[in-house]
Chains A and B, each alone.
Chain A
Amino acid sequence: MENIVIIGNGIAGISAARHIRKLSDKRIIIISGETDYFFSRTALMYVYMGHMKFEHIQPYENWFWEKNRIELVRGFVTQVNPETKQLSIDWSRAMHYDKLIIATGSKPNKFGWPGQDLHGVQGLYSKQDLDLLEVNAPNKEVCKRAVIVGGGLIGIELAEMLRSRDIPVTFLVREDSFWNGVLPKGESQMINEHIREHHIDLRLSSNLKEIVADENGKVKSVVIAETGEELACDMVGLTAGVTPNIEFLRNSGIELGRGVKVNRFLETNVPDVYAIGDCAEQHEAIGNRRPIEAVWYTGRMMGETVAQTICGNKIEYKPGHWFNSAKFLDIEYQTYGWVFSERGMKAHEAHFHWRHPEEKICITVAFHKETGQFLGINTFGIRMRHQIFDKWLTQEKSVDHVMEHLIDANFDPEFYKHYEANIISKYNAEFGKSISLKKKSLKRIFAMGY
């Protein structure tokens, strides 16, 4: 029987294991140094906030693994030797593999800031980071102020977490508006406002110069590069993105770039070794995607794909239309297709933006200037139906078609207020069109499928 060894029990590794089990009877071993059981990384924040206990963010009951004959091993893989097909766990145990899947995820970025390794300075990625946060910032007496460095998704989550315990938060963001490398101006602006509504001290265009230690080697304050201001604080969160967690593979003979280099089949340069999830780096980016995609969904999809390949049905990793979601404090965000920020915008790309006059609700629709083809949508505070947008993107519908049928795509709970009429009247006014909104049709919505 073939030994499939998976390093990492995150969503990528676990998806691979589950699908290999569905397709075959191979022996499956998952090695993790982080936790005994798979948990949802994106839900760590809710444990600190008291919405859930850690056991609640484990998607499978503990008996699941044995029942499905998925063996779990606790430990860090310290060395991989592709020639002998051996790996070593914690420098002590050796293990043989026939096929190896590397799914070790990421680690927080540190850019060489002075003081970045002091006590009280941490990232937020792993279960250990969460435990550390309970030490560094258990309450507002121990942590009188926290400073977060890096304005991305993890940064804003960390801010929300700390605010749930009334800890004052200063949020240093390098850009002149929150996440505006990804979000178009209007949206980014709205999130700035919302961050401040939550009494978070948002400092835009602010870089960290250094972290200052007290006499015990613990963080005492940070200095902001632009102003030279020194801010007293007890905890510093470094949330300026993540990098693949692949240090242990140096000198293994497996080709590395920023991540583990893989081809479209998720194969590395070494036979029988695959890499998936956050730690995999495509030789060439797929479509508009980045070569390394540290996203939950892509991790899951790569796991599903590699399982097919390993079970004898060699298949290329071909992600479909891009989608993603996040939540900025109280505002839900979804995106389907591609909507670029002003910084990354393509020459042919035009935007239509609508924002509710009072509430924190807005959408941005991207379309092709010449052909009018619908390219993508960002929505804030309105939920949209994935299947409908996926179909529209596949069918290359025009932006007019999308506008006309927008109500079909609405996924808000029943009885919610609808804004399609307002959106379309602004669209008509802006582009001199006379589109009228079609009525919601259950037939169109449910006559889907492939």
Chain B
Amino acid sequence: MSTYDRSMALTGQPPAILSRNQKIATLIGMTGLLILLLASFNVSFPNKGLWLTLALMAISAGTIWFSWDAYSKKLPGIKNDGVWFKSISSKGFWGWIAGIALTGFYIVLYFYPEYLGLVKNGSNKGVIALFDPLSKALSGNPASQWFVYGTLYTVAILAFGIKFMWKYRHNRYERIRTMSVMFFQTAFAFIIPELMARLNGDKILNGGSLPYYDLKNVWPLNYYNFEGYRIKGFLSSGDIGFALLIFGILSVFVITPILTYKYGKRWYCSWVCGCGGLAETAGDAFRQLSDKTVSAWKVERWVVHSVVVFVTLMTTAVIYSYLGTDTSKYWLTKSTFLIGVASLLTLVFAWVMIFKRDQFKKDAIYGAIGYFVIIMALIGFHFFSGDGNVFLFKSETLRKSYSFLIGSIFSGVIGTGFYPIFGNRVWCRFGCPMAAMMGFQQRLFSRFRITTNGGQCISCGNCSTYCEMGIDVRAYAQKGENIVRSSCVGCGICSAVCPRGVLKLENGPLEGRIDSNQVLLGNDVDLMTLVNKK
């Protein structure tokens, strides 16, 4: 609408235009990418360490210089000029090109790593070989496609994190939050697991070897954490291994619920999580592309909760498959485990239905009942099914299809590859079971809310437009209602872009948190009482 461009200039007009510095910066960044691309076409670089350093430096320097030029000369404040005029951020030509390129990269990464130069039982070639020196320096092992990906991922979060902090330099919440995701990505996702790999075979671990473990990656996002080979790895690695396993369990059942109660799911989604970290930094330019319609919200609820059911079933099946039946060998047997899972689910279900049923819309109740019945029924099948298969399927089939459908296609190819088309939080919104479970708690049992400031809303729509989770924030704000939505990741951008100071993320008492009164201050009291009379 009303973006008449009568200019024939290919480079566009302000504010969409690139400055000369930005063009040079783009060139530098592209050179870095070109080195990686050449390497993947098996151009052999003599000094791999040097060329890798050059490539990564060029990518970071290009990104950082580009954003420095964009923001340093402007006064602190909201920097969204021209977002919908630039083709990269408005689903234009460059947006589609970027989307296709990213998607292609993910397909190769997940399914054809040999094209990146991965060689099993031999020395790497291509771009993976270029990363060998760095991998050897950290873990002592040659690189894999996942190491290449992890390195680029970290570089992206760091470089675009700096960009994000400049963009929002007037906003301390955003700056501190971004430092946090940059730290967790670099330390927990990238460096610590690599260093941990050095311990493998050491006597600290009783000669055992730990599975690769990003400590901040909690089940069910880390859906494979309790698979058989990992449990073996943990249990064979002495006290440290055992402690890590306990930590893995505690992080699901104790740490996550406590922190989510106190701060909402934002403590994880926009302060710690790597997926969230990439979305908030490299994906920031695409946050406005998320779909805000009510129908998208409907789809979201069905899809994301189905993933939760799927991951619960799958994990239960996998754990079940490697447990024994003999109580004298090990206290946790197939049947005690299943009974345990069933009782836990029943407890949660009963608690919600007894104490929180008023806060549900009808369809959520149907969904909950439906899914609950399915889980119970499937567990029931155990008693009618033979050894080796769980429920109706072989557990391995279930695991493989989850890993393919959700782990690869959804979180990678669609989740990140489609940033420039569907927005930067597609995975977090539609696919992440961790986000859905924390969201469930956030909606029902958490101190977190976004407070609407009395009657100050002018319905401008900046909050909704820039909500990466597709929440129609304005719909609540213009009625004077607080925003308590399970999908909210607490990124704080709605509050930042609000021109009238209407929104504030905060933690407070549960009582009165979901204030559905249409209390729009400004009118005298009698009228408001009337308006709220149902």
Binary contact track B74-91/A, C-beta < 8 Å → 1, others 0: 011110111111100000
Please tell me if B386 contacts chain A, counting CB pairs below 8 Å.
no
Q: How many Å from the CB of B1 to the closest CB on chain A?
A: 4
A140 lies within 8 A of B527 (CB): no
* Complex: chain A residue closest to B523, CB-CB: A301
A411 lies within 8 A of B465 (CB): no
A325 lies within 8 A of B509 (CB): no
Q: How many Å from the CB of A302 to the closest CB on chain B?
A: 10
Complex: how many Å from CA A320 to CA B528? Answer: 11
Of B6-14, B243-251, B367-375, the one with at least 4 CB within 8 A of chain A: B6-14
Please tell me if A72 contacts chain B, counting CB pairs below 8 Å.
no
Chain A residues positioned under 8 Å from B508 (CB to CB): 442, 445-446
Please tell me if B47 contacts chain A, counting CB pairs below 8 Å.
no
Please tell me if A78 contacts chain B, counting CB pairs below 8 Å.
no
Please tell me if B453 contacts chain A, counting CB pairs below 8 Å.
yes
Q: How many Å from the CB of A287 to the closest CB on chain B?
A: 11
Q: How many Å from the CB of B462 to the closest CB on chain A?
A: 7
B173 lies within 8 A of A415 (CB): yes
Complex: how many Å from CA A298 to CA B530? Answer: 18
B453 lies within 8 A of A385 (CB): yes
Chain B residues positioned under 8 Å from A42 (CB to CB): 458-460
Binary contact track B439-464/A, C-beta < 8 Å → 1, others 0: 00000000000010111101111101
Q: How many Å from the CB of B103 to the closest CB on chain A?
A: 25
A56 lies within 8 A of B461 (CB): yes
Complex: how many Å from CA A278 to CA B142? Answer: 71
Binary contact track B320-357/A, C-beta < 8 Å → 1, others 0: 00000000000000000000000000000000000000
Chain B residues positioned under 8 Å from A326 (CB to CB): 500
A390 lies within 8 A of B464 (CB): no
Known: A139-B7, A320-B522, A386-B454. A54 touches B81 (CB 8 A): no
Chain B 168-219 residues near chain A, CB threshold 8 A: 170-173, 176
Chain B residues positioned under 8 Å from A384 (CB to CB): 501
Please tell me if A225 contacts chain B, counting CB pairs below 8 Å.
no
Chain A 13-54 residues near chain B, CB threshold 8 A: 19, 40, 42-43, 46-54
B501 lies within 8 A of A134 (CB): no
Please tell me if B156 contacts chain A, counting CB pairs below 8 Å.
no
A165 lies within 8 A of B461 (CB): no
Residue of B3, B458, B464, B531 ringed by the most chain A CB atoms within 10 A: B458
* Complex: chain B residue closest to A194, CB-CB: B75
Chain A residues positioned under 8 Å from B77 (CB to CB): 329-330
Chain A residues positioned under 8 Å from B461 (CB to CB): 40, 43, 46, 52, 56-59
Chain A residues positioned under 8 Å from B16 (CB to CB): 50
Q: How many Å from the CB of B76 to the closest CB on chain A?
A: 7
Complex: how many Å from CA A413 to CA B458? Answer: 19
B505 lies within 8 A of A43 (CB): no
Please tell me if A450 contacts chain B, counting CB pairs below 8 Å.
yes
A51 lies within 8 A of B80 (CB): yes
Please tell me if A233 contacts chain B, counting CB pairs below 8 Å.
no
What's the A-B contact tally at a CB cutoff of 8 Å? 210
Chain B 458-484 residues near chain A, CB threshold 8 A: 458-462, 464-465, 474-475, 478
Of A174-182, A237-245, A269-277, A311-319, the one with at least 4 CB within 8 A of chain B: A311-319
Known: A43-B460, A301-B522, A383-B501. A323 touches B454 (CB 8 A): yes
Please tell me if B2 contacts chain A, counting CB pairs below 8 Å.
yes
Known: A131-B2, A315-B530, A413-B495. A450 touches B456 (CB 8 A): no
Please tell me if A125 contacts chain B, counting CB pairs below 8 Å.
no
Binary contact track A339-366/B, C-beta < 8 Å → 1, others 0: 0000000000000000000000000000
Chain A residues positioned under 8 Å from B176 (CB to CB): 415
Task: State which of B4, B83, B478 has its C-beta within 8 Å of the C-beta of A135.
Answer: B4
B501 lies within 8 A of A332 (CB): yes
**What's the tally of chain A residues with a CB closer than 8 Å to chain B?**
74
Please tell me if A297 contacts chain B, counting CB pairs below 8 Å.
yes
Chain B residues positioned under 8 Å from A415 (CB to CB): 172-173, 176
Task: State which of B1, B294, B464, B499 has its C-beta within 8 Å of the C-beta of A332.
Answer: B499
Complex: how many Å from CA A412 to CA B502? Answer: 10
A164 lies within 8 A of B15 (CB): yes
B82 lies within 8 A of A323 (CB): no
Chain B residues positioned under 8 Å from A411 (CB to CB): 451, 453, 501, 504
Please tell me if A85 contacts chain B, counting CB pairs below 8 Å.
no
A413 lies within 8 A of B492 (CB): yes
Please tell me if B127 contacts chain A, counting CB pairs below 8 Å.
no
Complex: how many Å from CA A109 to CA B454? Answer: 31
* Complex: chain A residue closest to B497, CB-CB: A51
Give the dominant DSSP class at B's interface.
loop
Chain B residues positioned under 8 Å from A139 (CB to CB): 6-7, 13-14
Please tell me if A138 contacts chain B, counting CB pairs below 8 Å.
yes
A138 lies within 8 A of B454 (CB): no
B521 lies within 8 A of A49 (CB): no
A197 lies within 8 A of B75 (CB): yes
* Complex: chain A residue closest to B177, CB-CB: A415
B4 lies within 8 A of A332 (CB): no
Q: How many Å from the CB of B485 to the closest CB on chain A?
A: 17
Complex: how many Å from CA A147 to CA B82? Answer: 22
Q: How many Å from the CB of B117 to the closest CB on chain A?
A: 42
Please tell me if A417 contacts chain B, counting CB pairs below 8 Å.
yes
Q: How many Å from the CB of B298 to the closest CB on chain A?
A: 13
A446 lies within 8 A of B512 (CB): yes
Binary contact track A384-401/B, C-beta < 8 Å → 1, others 0: 111100100000000000
Known: A320-B522, A383-B501, A445-B508. A55 touches B454 (CB 8 A): no
Known: A43-B459, A411-B501. A416 touches B521 (CB 8 A): no
A386 lies within 8 A of B455 (CB): yes
Chain A 423-446 residues near chain B, CB threshold 8 A: 442, 445-446
Chain A residues positioned under 8 Å from B85 (CB to CB): 50
Please tell me if A11 contacts chain B, counting CB pairs below 8 Å.
yes
Please tell me if A166 contacts chain B, counting CB pairs below 8 Å.
yes
Chain A residues positioned under 8 Å from B254 (CB to CB): none
Chain B residues positioned under 8 Å from A141 (CB to CB): 7, 13
Chain A 288-312 residues near chain B, CB threshold 8 A: 296-298, 300-301, 304-305, 308
Known: A387-B454, A450-B525. A413 touches B462 (CB 8 A): no
* Complex: chain A residue closest to B293, CB-CB: A61
Q: How many Å from the CB of A376 to the closest CB on chain B?
A: 14
B521 lies within 8 A of A198 (CB): no
Please tell me if A327 contacts chain B, counting CB pairs below 8 Å.
yes
Q: How many Å from the CB of B17 to the closest CB on chain A?
A: 8
Please tell me if A130 contacts chain B, counting CB pairs below 8 Å.
yes
Complex: how many Å from CA A308 to CA B526? Answer: 12
Please tell me if B109 contacts chain A, counting CB pairs below 8 Å.
no
Please tell me if B396 contacts chain A, counting CB pairs below 8 Å.
no
Q: How many Å from the CB of B192 to the closest CB on chain A?
A: 26
Task: State which of A300, A332, A450 has its C-beta within 8 Å of the C-beta of B528.
Answer: A450
> Can you list 13 pairs linking A and B with CB atoms under 8 Å apart?
A42-B460, A47-B1, A49-B80, A52-B462, A59-B461, A165-B15, A296-B458, A305-B523, A320-B523, A323-B456, A411-B453, A413-B505, A446-B512
Query: Which 4 interchain pairs have the tightest Cβ spacing?
Result: A386-B454, A330-B77, A383-B501, A43-B460
